[in-house]
Amino acid sequence: MAVAAALARLQAESKCAVCLDDLKDPVTIECGHNFCRFCIRQTWADLQEKFPCPVCRFQCQEGHFRSNTQLGRMVQIAHKLHSSRSKRRRSEKTNLCEKHNQELTLFCEEDLEVLCPQCVGPPDHLRHHMSPLGEAASLHRSRLHSHAKLLRKQVANTQKLISAQSKVPLELREKVEARRQQLASELELLTQFLQQEQQAALERLAQEEREIQQQLSNNITAFAGHAASLKSLLDRVVKHNALSEVQLLSQIKHFYQGSNSEISPPIFSINLRREAYSFPPQYSALQRVIKEFGVDIILDPETASPNLFISTDRKWVRFAKKKRSSSRLSKKPGANPVVLGFPDFYSGRHFWQVEVGDEPQWGVGVCRVSKSSKELRSGQGCWRVQLQEGGYDAPGASPCPLQLDVRDRTLGVFLDYELGEISFYDMPSGAHLCTFQDSFTEPLRPYFYLGPEAKPLRIIGM
């Protein structure tokens, strides 16, 4: 009580006699009394000759006063002491049960509530597990520590996701640009049919890009909000961890209920719509053939001549000056650079595409599996389009010779086994080049011939 009385007197002495509040920027006048600088100036503002003290009425000369910095610091200390004592009183008050006015000493693990000994009786907490406050607080501080670690990890992961999502616009631009180039390439040979379609497609693509940009921006904003929520939750964990045992356990139920509601936004992914075009009838029919009869072709290294190098994915072949180990075809001397593809065809319709270069010599087509190595090397028993020194050729096909400009291009090969036809197309325009007609009674395989100066042949995956 003596300490409280002394603190009360100190509080009274630190008040300004004019505003009756704590002294602010205190000054001392001639009689020794102290006031706020602002208060004494306002009091003497309209006086000319006499400047009386508001407390003792002592007449000060010319209204002089001096700053009292030391007193100002003492006032701050007194204010802090008063605030600290008030908080301690409130804390002591919260340690009592509001219902029974008894000291809170137990914690119910089922209901997550702080209780007094009288609260634990039936019916509210019958057979519930009770823990002493210290033990329960230690347990939940440990849980909060683990929760904080998890939240910090989630914050870090969310920041990484935000960083990754921030890079998506570049990926979006690259994909849009790639799609734009694909559109331009497909439409170049069909301008007379597709001028209006091309303009409409590009406008839809631009609109889709804007929409995806907006969705992406919203997604990044959602992740930023999620990160802020996680940080806020982490701040709450830190604040809860600093509370007294009773305060911590009194609020832990609400904290756990609120912390379980945070859900990370979904990760945004780019899915551009596939455009549909009004192509000419011939091209549209070919697209249906590709979709229905497209087949994945791979090269058979066992049938490759020694000077041919096959890629590890068995999708492309190039001529190599250094011979590799022997293969089934290379056992014959003077073998031409030929390799066959998988699978064998015994029936049905099949379509595949091959990228070819503008340098002779090369040949692409179909051959009989039963033909001897000598016949394969000479091209017998094969139906093929080839580039020789004089240009493109398709021996035995109709029409022939082929009227094409020599350049890098993609050939489409369509085999109709029952109909006895092998047709070649210039892709992606779908222009028909030539067709072979024959009767097939034996297995057939894709055929590839490659000369020393030719560029690699590459099979396009379907």
Give pLDDT tens digits for 434-462. Answer: 999 999 999 999 999 999 999 999 999 87
Beta bridge partners of 294: 351
DSSP state of 293: H
More confident site: 99 or 294: 294
Asked whether the bond before 428 is cis by omega within 30 degrees of 0, the reply is: yes
Inter-residue contact 18 to 55 (CB < 8 Å):
no
Q: Residue 207 belongs to what H/E stretch?
A: helix 191-241
Q: Which amino acid is at 385?
A: V
Q: Name the pLDDT band for 97 (thresholds 50, 70, 90).
A: confident
Please tell me the distance from the alpha carbon of residue 280 to that of residue 276, in angstroms, as a whole number: 13
From the list 140, 16, 154, the residue with the least C-alpha distance to 72 is 16
pLDDT class of 333 with cuts at 50, 70, 90: very low
pLDDT band at 328 (very low <50, low <70, confident <90, very high): very low
* Least confident range of 48-52, 94-98, 129-133: 94-98
Residue count of the chain:
462
- As a whole number, the mean pLDDT across the chain is 82
Q: Give bridge partners of residue 27 from the DSSP assignment.
A: 35, 67
pLDDT digits (tens, 9 = 90+) for 399-442: 877 888 889 999 999 999 999 999 999 988 888 889 999 999 99
Q: Is the per-residue pLDDT at 93 higher than 70?
A: no
Using a 10 angstrom Cβ sphere, with 0-12 exposed, 13-18 middle and 19 or more buried, the burial of residue 333 is exposed
How far is 391 from 374, CA to CA, in rounded Å?
25
Phi, psi for 260 (deg, rounded to 5): -85, 0
Residue with tokens 């379609």: 197
The per-residue pLDDT for 341 is 95
Give tens-digit pLDDT for 388-398.
888 899 999 98
Q: What's the rounded mean pLDDT across residues 293-314? A: 92
Confidence of residue 331 (pLDDT cuts 50, 70, 90): very low
Say what the pTM is: 0.42
Question: Is residue 327 scored above 50 in pLDDT?
Answer: no
- Specify the pLDDT at position 380: 67
Identify the H or E element spanning 141: helix 133-166
pLDDT over threshold 90, residue 129: no
Residue 282's pLDDT band (boundaries 50, 70, 90)?
low
CB 458 within 8 A of CB 354: yes
Closest CA relative to residue 116, chosen from 240, 108, 251, 252? 108
What angle, 0 to 180 degrees and rounded to 10, lies between the N-to-C axes of helices 168-188 and 191-241?
170
Mean pLDDT of all residues in 11-21: 83
User: Where are the strands (E) in 276-347, listed by range?
Assistant: 298-299, 308-310, 316-319, 338-342
Whether the predicted pLDDT of 169 surpasses 90? no
**DSSP letter at 393?**
E
Residue-by-residue DSSP string for 262-279: --PPPPP---PPPP----
Would you state the pLDDT for residue 192? Answer: 57
In this predicted structure, the answer to whether residue 278 has a pLDDT above a threshold of 60 is no
> Could you identify the residue written with the tokens 């291009």?
409
pLDDT at 255: 75
CA dist 133 and 455 (Å) reads 82
The two three-digit tokens of residue 457, written as one number: 């042949």
Q: What is the mean pLDDT of residues 158-170?
A: 85
Instruction: State both tokens at 279.
Output: 């192509």
The residues near 252 (Cβ < 8 Å, ≥ 6 apart) are 112, 140, 240
Closest CA to 18 of 39, 44, 46: 39
- Spatial distance between the Cα atoms of 433 and 356, rounded to a whole number of angstroms: 15
Mind listing the pLDDT tens digit for each residue in 351-377? Answer: 999 999 999 899 999 999 875 555 555
Residue 306: what residue type?
A: P
Rounded to whole angstroms, how far apart are CA atoms 389 and 173?
A: 42
Is the predicted pLDDT of residue 249 greater than 70, yes or no?
yes
**Quick one: what percent of the chain has pLDDT higher than 70?**
85
If we measure between CA atoms, which residue out of 383, 364, 379, 363 comes closest to residue 440? 383
As a whole number, mean pLDDT of residues 84-91 equals 61
Q: What string of H, E and C letters represents the secondary structure of 75-90?
A: HHHHHHHHHHHHHHHH
In terms of DSSP H, where are the helices of 301-421?
373-378
Quick one: pLDDT band at residue 334, thresholds 50, 70, 90?
A: very low
- Give the DSSP H or E segment for 378: helix 373-378
305 or 89: which leads in pLDDT: 305
Range in 123-127, 210-214, 327-331 with the lowest mean pLDDT? 327-331
pLDDT of residue 95: 78
pLDDT score for 371: 59
Q: Looking at the predicted structure, is the pLDDT value of residue 279 above 90?
A: no
Q: Are 436 and 383 in contact (CB under 8 A)?
A: yes
Rounded to an integer, the average pLDDT of 188-192 is 61
**Residue 104, amino acid:** L
User: How does DSSP assign 10-51, residue by residue?
Assistant: HHHHTB-TTT-SB-SSEEEETTS-EEEHHHHHHHTTT-SSEE
The 10 Å Cβ neighbour count of residue 153 is 11
Contact 119, 97 (CB under 8 A): yes
